[in-house]
Amino acid sequence: MIYTTSSRRGMVTAPHHLASDAGVSVLRDGGNALEAMIAMASTIAVVYPHMNSIGGDGFWLIRPAAGEPKCIRACGTSGENVDADLYAGQRAIPSRGPLAANTVAGAVSGWEQAEVTSRQWGGRLSRDRLLEEAIWHATQGIAVTDGQTRLTRAKLPELAGIYGFGEAFTPGGVVPEPGARFDQPRLGSTLSTLAKDGFDSFYRGALAKRVAADLARAGCPVTAGDLQAHTAQVVEPLRVRLANATVFNHPPPTQGLASLMILGIFDRLTLPAAESADYIHALVEATKQAFLVRDGFVTDPNDLYGDPQVFLQDAELDDCAARVNLSRAMPWPAPESHGDTVWLGAIDGEGNSVSYIQSIYWEFGSGVVLDETGIQWQNRGSSFSLDPRSINTVRPRRMPFHTLNPAAALFDDGRSMVYGTMGGEGQPQTQSAIFSRYAHYGQSLQQAITAPRWLLGRTWGEESTTLKLESRVDDVVVDTLRGRGHEIELVEDFDDVMGHAGAVVRHSDGLYEGASDPRSDGRAGGF
């Protein structure tokens, strides 16, 4: 049976059960949703090391129980020495190795800003308490998951020779088996330093000097000056008004605009039957319209040619909806986009909510693991283009395009919802499936996440631009979609390519509901 987790005092969800446990523990100790999320974010960076690290970026969508939502943009820029000349003679920026580790890791700066905001929300737990679980798991070891073993084996041919990877992920020269103990003492020491000296020490101070020295030894172009120049920023979210709710997401450089556009376009189409070919076709075609806007507009927010909120106005969405052909698929050559990310959600007993996504881009990021600090560094900057005509061309101190986008919704009946997923190109598509199933069709939260999903385009290293469907989709639906011109590729019944999603809802009567993805190692936890 498919059951949605429920409780009356608070709820969290994460793609690894130990991260969920860390969040619930903080809520039980009187912490708020932001404090719970710091605990979860630090823990997931330890217990899901193939998926995440403190050497990545983070994006927050936060809302106090009685107030307007805000975003925390903890996104690092490229280094001051990172430009096209650094990659002279290459056709593209390398996806792995030191030259892929070309942007500052912003995630920890987001923890710092969240800590400041938490105090404004009445938070009182110490930093030691918030990082307690992460430090323990790093120093005492975790049980290796099936996913870590599988991905380590799959990616070892391209990662084995990269600086620090082998020592960190294949101790003794072998891939650890599921259930094996996996220690990360250097990372544990770094987390202990953050607990003692503060999150800002990652960018300024003694720890920052060690991180910079580590990066230099590895041959990465990020410098001490780049770390010192970085800060997280509080920015306004994007929003779209739907029939029964207002939905929020993160502004550029993320693809949050596309996520909201898909929902806005779908809201204007004749509502098809749930899980039918019409339903999937309508959302896929809405996705194409949204991605066309995204690919021509979203870049570093300092370089935008206009206000992204304009694309969410009624007239713009009406025009996009009018271009959707409900009986024929539009041809789709899509740009390549990978994704390796975690989404986490929390709503506390007061109704404060957090939707958070933390990423190192691809699985294992750049593959670089730093000597002294044990930090695995992201490869987000490999998404920059070497084409000077591109809207995302590489240059110093520039934010790369991000697939990351945490979502939240306020329903007219008083419900509040946070939801999201990992999965690169698939993030907006999975978000649209979860939200529409729950909001339009009345499916339970867990059912909306467990139901068969689809993915248009490339992600997780896939080379095909097909419409990928999980094999649980009804054969009649598959045949109908093929007949409308979709190039179909069937994947596993519960396939990682579809991402690891989650959602939490708080009802106006104080009921909390949470759901986690059966494709992940996670769970929803309440009390």
Per domain, the residue ranges of the chain are 10-234+341-383, 245-338+412-516
Q: Decide: helix, strand or coil at residue 54.
A: coil
pLDDT class for 342, splitting at 50, 70, 90?
A: confident
User: In Å, how far are 346, 391, 501 from 23, measured between CA atoms?
Assistant: 8, 39, 17
3-state SS string over 98-136?
Answer: HHHCCECCCHHHHHHHHHHHHHHCCCCCCHHHHCHHHHH
Could you tell me if residue 485 is left (phi over 0), alpha (psi between -120 and 50 degrees) or otherwise beta?
Answer: left
Instruction: Give mean pLDDT, residues 381-403.
Output: 94
Q: How confident is the model at residue 499 (pLDDT cuts 50, 70, 90)?
A: confident
Strand-pairing partners, residue 240, are 247
pLDDT, one tens digit per residue, over 107-150 is 999 999 999 999 999 999 999 999 999 999 999 999 999 999 99
457 within 8 A of 442, measured Cβ to Cβ: no
Instruction: Please say whether the beta carbons of 477 and 280 come within 8 A.
Output: yes
CA 59 from chain centre, in angstroms, equals: 8
The candidate with the shortest Cα–Cα distance to 20, out of 475, 343, 441, is 343
Q: Which residue's structure tokens are 């306004």?
A: 236
Distance between CA atoms of 402 and 380, rounded to whole angstroms?
8
> pTM of the predicted model, to two decimals?
0.95
- Among 13, 103, 287, 341, the active-site one is 341
Q: Is 173 helix (H, G, I), strand (E, B) or coil?
A: helix
Mean pLDDT of the chain: 94
Q: What is the pLDDT of residues 165-204, one digit of tens each?
A: 999 999 999 999 999 999 999 999 999 999 999 999 999 9
> What integer pLDDT is reported at residue 11 of this predicted model?
98
Any idea which fold 245-338+412-516 has?
Serum Albumin; Chain A, Domain 1 (1.10.246)
341 catalytic residue (yes or no) = yes
> Which pLDDT score is estimated for 340?
54
Task: Specify the long-range contacts of residues 483-490, CB closer than 8 Å, at least 24 apart.
Answer: 484/277, 484/281, 484/327, 484/328, 484/329, 485/328, 485/329, 485/331, 486/281, 486/284, 486/329, 489/464
Please list, residue by residue across 242-253, b when 16 or more beta carbons sit within 10 angstroms of its beta carbon and e when fewer do.
Answer: beebebbbbbbb
| Predicted confidence (pLDDT) per residue in 262-319, tens digit | 999 999 998 889 999 999 999 999 999 999 999 999 999 999 989 999 999 999 999 9
Both structure tokens of 277:
């070919």
pLDDT tens per residue across span 393-425:
999 999 999 888 899 999 999 999 999 988 777
